[in-house]
Amino acid sequence: MNSINAIKLNKTDFIIALVLLLFSGFLIFFKINSTQLQDWDEGIYANIAGDMVENNHWFNMQFSGTDWYEKEILPYWLMALSIKNFGFTVFAVRLPFTIISIFLVPLFYLITRYYLNKILSLATSLLFLFSPYLWISHVLRTGDFDALALTFFLAAIVSYLYLREKKFFWVSSIFISLSIMSRGVMGYLFLTIILISELIRPKFKLDKWKIKKVILYLTISILPWLLWHFYWLLQGGQKYIDVYWKDQFFNRITTPLQGHYGDFYYYFNIISKFIDSSYVFIFFVGIILTLFFTLKKNWKFFFLLIWLTITLVPLQIIHTKLYWYLLPALPVLYLTTIASLSKIAQPLFIKYKKATVTIVSIIFISHILIFSTMTFGYITKNNTQNYKNFIKNAMTNIPNNEHNIVLYNSGNNEYININQRLRWYLYYENNKQIKFATTKSIEKNPEEYLNNPYWIANQDGLKEINNLNKQFTYSKLYSDGDFTLIKIKSL
């Protein structure tokens, strides 16, 4: 059987990749501290990593005093190492993910070169770089884990496509392992893409790896994860099973976790909202053409089809819908569209070269200009600091010798995202001890909280405090409209 020859990268390719790296770095690092910790995940992750550093718990993640089994360990290690070296700052929280994610677009360029010429590869990479979806919250420029795992996966694809016939074919499995240790089950989907693509090669009259290579690849990919989860099982027992497998895995599939529900059109609407509605149709055309070329016994397009299938079909099956779940499919949506359309247009290019080049250039340049403007808008205008600014102003009303602050939540949930972001700024950046309180906990034991006179509540929480059977009085010290600092006066 014949093998399929990869494009031989030359000096120009590496120069282009380097330029994309530097440009990506500029965009990603630009005003990286201009936004506060993001809702839910980033605030929670920062506190867990901060606890790792403060208590030297490098093999025991804790969230609000309880063991944490929801996410994989690697991102927390990266975040904690950064905090340990650069201090308890938002910059340190985001630094490792920012550094790694600047390789995202250069790696994508190297993948596109397997399918396209230099000019089309560069244009496609710029379209991907300026995709507004990449610059919304929870993707780039945050301490979230999704862009991290995707970067590792693209590194695995580059290694696989260009080294699969070489002695160091196993390098790809290292990046797969890193993606699994970053995003767990999502990393296994990445592994599945490569293994299916490899094992099906004989159907396309191409050679495949011998069984020894497959076993080595699998071992390197999954062994660190298996060892870590065996340690977790020994440490957490039934709690680990209930949290990681029952709640975070199976419940995400069968029920909308934490109310994250969406219908069949949820991800179509995400593309329309964060990119453009026309791209729903454009990407659909790319998928259909990719299927067409796969049926023509083209393994390169089969690889793209498997990538599309493994990253898109599960999104429609699982009941939990989150917009960042679409991220692993974004690169291949762009690549399949451009690769398939360019293949279809080859006869036109040969017959009407000048006209074809002109039309294609206008389309690419116009889209890049439009989306780059949107991207710069996301980067420069998204500078919300209301949590941090509130804490900064509130601290001027709290005596230096007062070290305890009560964070009050409306309802009975002690650990929602509001408290975790405020906790980071209070505890790690201002050295204040935090006590969480809810209506239920105060009614049960009011004296426990009244010993700490300085409280912070959001507006809903303040209304509930006013209805606590008048067990105490208070004065307002500072408010920014969203949060209020109060001082408890008496019973």
Report which of residues 293 and 410 the model is more confident about. Answer: 293
Average pLDDT over residues 422-440: 87
Question: Residue 474 has which token pair?
Answer: 């208070």
409 phi, psi to nearest 5 deg: -110, 140
pLDDT at 490 (0 to 100) = 66
Q: What is the pLDDT of residues 464-490, one digit of tens each?
A: 777 765 667 888 999 988 889 999 876
Cα dist. 196→7, 159, 288 in Å? 22, 16, 20
Identify the pLDDT of residue 3.
46
pLDDT tens track for 359-413? 888 988 898 888 888 888 878 776 666 788 888 899 999 998 888 898 887 554 5
> Quick check: 491 pLDDT over 90?
no
261-267, long-range: CB < 8 A, 24+ apart: 261/319, 261/320, 261/321, 262/321, 264/316, 266/321, 267/312, 267/315, 267/316, 267/321, 267/323, 267/325, 267/326
DSSP 264: T
| Interval 88-110: pLDDT, tens | 999 999 999 999 999 999 999 99
46-72: average pLDDT? 92
CATH class of 386-490: alpha beta
Determine the pLDDT at residue 469: 54
Helix, strand and coil content of the chain, in percent to the nearest 5, comes to 65, 10, 25
- Phi-psi bin for 259: left (phi > 0), alpha (psi -120 to 50), beta? left
pLDDT mean over 326-351: 91
Q: CA distances (Å), 10 to each of 110, 118, 353, in order?
A: 11, 10, 25
- The single residue listed with the structure tokens 């592994």 is 191
The region of weakest confidence among 171-185, 309-323, 439-453 is: 439-453
Q: Which residue has the higher pLDDT, 273 or 416?
A: 273
Q: State residue 418's pLDDT score.
A: 57
Q: Specify the amino acid at residue 93.
A: V
**Arithmetic mean of pLDDT, 334-342:** 95
Residue 161 in this model has a pLDDT that exceeds 60: yes
Q: What is the pTM of this model?
A: 0.92
So what's the pLDDT on residue 28? 94
**In sequence order, what are the residues at sequence separation of 6 or more whose Cβ sits closer than 8 angstroms to the Cβ of residue 232?**
69, 240, 244
Which residues of the chain are in CATH 3.40.190 domains? 386-490
Q: Is the pLDDT of residue 216 over 90?
A: yes
Q: Return the structure tokens found at 405.
A: 């602050």
Evaluate if residue 280 carries a pLDDT over 50: yes
Please report the pLDDT score of residue 2 as a whole number.
Answer: 44
Distance CA 225, CA 41 (A): 22
Distance of alpha carbon 128 from alpha carbon 20, whole angstroms: 11
Which tokens belong to 61?
Answer: 């993640």
The confidence band for 1, taking pLDDT boundaries of 50, 70 and 90, is: very low
Residue type at 487? K
